[in-house]
Every structure is written in structure tokens, then in C-alpha cells.
């Protein structure tokens, strides 16, 4: 291939790369929150803390007046989850070797975002979620999807059904179900907002399955599905749990009774 053809090819690749990076840079330039992390490449099971500051000028930032008022959202809760305190964890790549997702932060009227590169390389889940109940229904064929978190099979629950469960440290086997052991649970209902009581604000759908109706009792190790999923054929819930540096997740699909 002539040198000029090589040059044109590399220039085209460079322009595409700069265009994609440029979109992200333009968005970040227009935002008034600075969202950063020690690393923005995560393998499955790896976590990092997001830091949020207020932009005061082109190159200066300042602490937020009330950091506890910061709300986080993920663009893909089946790949990248964010806890209410800003801890971010990769939970999948939709079956691809590489993927990406954004974490957005909002504090009052200010907002910002950070893009993460996701890969299959990682420790995977280090906590296991094990159903104790033996009467769980079979997951219907029509709700099968490749776009689920990595490393576990979704579980089905009928409307109003209860499921007893245990959370154990992988390998060691210690029971870490109760929050008294330090375990914290975060639920996602399709909106990307952790523990969202009104997912319809983002999804435009129903609030029949939300933080207000999907009950997780960590003291008794019980999950109770909503009594009704309204007009939905099914509803997906991602249960994410953490104990220190150990993390795990499981998808629950609520189906009609």
C-alpha cells in the first residue's frame, strides 16, 4: 500500500478516536461537577471509589458544601453498579471482551459524569448468594437475555412470593447475610439509580417493582417480591451486596403468579 494511503488510513482512525473522545470531553467541559476516580478501567469484581468536587474555574475544584446530597446513576446496571456512597463495581460486560459505561453524579442542580472501561479480566464475585427456598419457579424462556450481570444465573420469584437466602464469603464459607456482619445491599430496578423508589421517573414505566415494594430483610435473610407487577410481563431486579472488599450480585426476575 502506498505511503499516502497508509497515512490517510491512520488519519481516519485518529479522527474517529478523537471524535469519540471529543464527545466525552465536550460533555465534561459543559458539566459543573468534577467526577474522578483512582482508575477508570475495571475488570469484573473490581471496585473503585468515585470522588466528586465542584468546578470553580477551568482548572480548579472545591469540596462540595454537602457531599451526602450527591446522587449517583449508572448507564448500565448489568455491567457497572454504583452504591449510594459512590463505590463503583464492574459486574459484567454483556458477554463481550471489552465494554464501557458511565457513572453520573448530581448534587443539587450540578452534575457530572465519568466513563469507565470494562473488561472480563478480574476476580469476579467474591461473595455468593445462595437461595435456601426450594419452591422457586423456573425462569420462563421469554425472559432469558444475554444482557445480565456476569457469573450467576438469574432467579425467578412469583408475585408476592418469599425467598430465603444466604450470603457467604466465597471459599471461606462464613455466613455474611446479616448487615450486623458489615454486609450492605444495594438494589437496582432498571433506572440505574441505586435503591430507587420511583424508577418510572427515568424508565417511563411502572413503579410496581421498586425499593418501596421489593423487600429485602437482611436480618432474616428473606426477599419478598411485590404482590403485583401491574401490567408488566416480568421485572428484573439486581441485588448487589458488599462486605468490606468482598462483593457479589444476583439478578432476581419477578414474574406473574
Residues 93-144: tens digit of each pLDDT: 998 999 999 999 999 999 999 999 999 999 999 999 999 999 999 988 877 7
Which pLDDT score, from 0 to 100, does residue 15 have? 43
Residue 2 has pLDDT above 60, yes or no: no
* 3-class state of residue 238 by DSSP: strand
Q: Would the pLDDT of 83 be above 70?
A: yes
**Model pLDDT, residue 8:** 54
Each domain of the chain, given as residue ranges in start order, spans 1-30, 31-119, 127-255
> Quick one: pLDDT at residue 97?
93
Q: In CATH terms, are 31-119 and 127-255 the same topology?
A: yes
Q: Please say if the pLDDT value at position 21 is more than 70.
A: no
Q: 142-178: per-residue pLDDT in tens?
A: 777 666 788 888 999 999 999 999 999 987 778 999 9
Q: How far is CA 179 from CA 2, 83, 219, in A?
A: 66, 15, 7
Q: What pTM was estimated for this model as a whole?
A: 0.87
Q: What is the CATH number of domain 127-255?
A: 2.60.40
CB atoms within 10 A of CB 170: 13
Measure the CA–CA gap between 25 and 23, rounded to whole angstroms.
Answer: 5
Report helix, strand or coil for 15. helix
Fold assignment, 31-119: Immunoglobulin-like (2.60.40)
Amino acid at each position: 500500500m502506498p505511503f499516502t494511503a497508509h497515512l490517510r488510513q491512520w488519519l481516519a482512525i485518529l479522527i474517529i478516536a478523537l471524535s469519540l473522545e471529543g464527545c466525552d470531553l465536550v460533555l465534561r467541559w459543559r458539566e459543573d461537577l468534577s467526577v474522578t476516580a483512582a482508575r477508570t478501567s475495571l475488570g469484573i469484581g473490581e471496585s473503585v471509589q468515585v470522588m466528586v468536587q465542584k468546578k470553580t474555574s477551568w482548572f480548579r475544584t472545591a469540596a462540595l458544601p454537602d457531599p451526602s446530597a450527591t446522587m449517583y446513576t449508572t448507564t448500565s446496571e448489568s455491567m457497572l453498579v454504583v452504591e449510594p456512597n459512590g463505590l463503583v463495581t464492574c459486574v459484567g460486560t454483556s458477554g463481550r471482551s471489552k465494554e464501557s459505561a458511565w457513572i453520573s453524579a448530581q448534587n443539587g442542580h450540578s452534575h457530572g459524569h465519568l466513563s469507565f472501561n470494562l473488561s472480563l479480566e478480574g476476580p469476579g464475585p467474591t461473595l455468593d448468594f445462595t437461595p435456601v427456598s426450594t419452591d422457586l419457579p423456573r425462569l420462563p424462556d421469554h425472559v432469558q437475555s444475554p444482557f445480565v450481570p456476569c457469573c450467576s444465573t438469574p432467579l425467578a420469584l412469583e408475585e408476592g412470593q418469599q425467598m430465603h437466602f444466604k450470603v457467604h464469603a466465597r471459599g471461606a464459607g462464613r455466613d455474611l447475610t446479616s448487615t450486623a456482619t458489615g454486609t450492605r445491599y444495594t438494589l437496582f430496578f432498571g433506572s440505574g439509580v441505586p435503591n430507587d423508589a420511583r424508577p418510572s421517573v427515568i424508565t417511563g414505566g411502572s413503579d410496581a417493582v421498586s425499593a418501596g415494594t421489593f423487600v429485602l430483610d437482611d436480618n432474616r435473610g428473606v426477599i419478598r417480591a411485590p404482590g403485583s407487577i401491574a401490567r408488566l410481563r416480568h421485572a428484573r431486579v439486581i441485588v448487589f451486596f458488599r462486605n468490606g472488599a468482598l462483593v457479589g450480585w444476583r439478578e432476581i426476575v419477578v414474574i406473574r403468579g
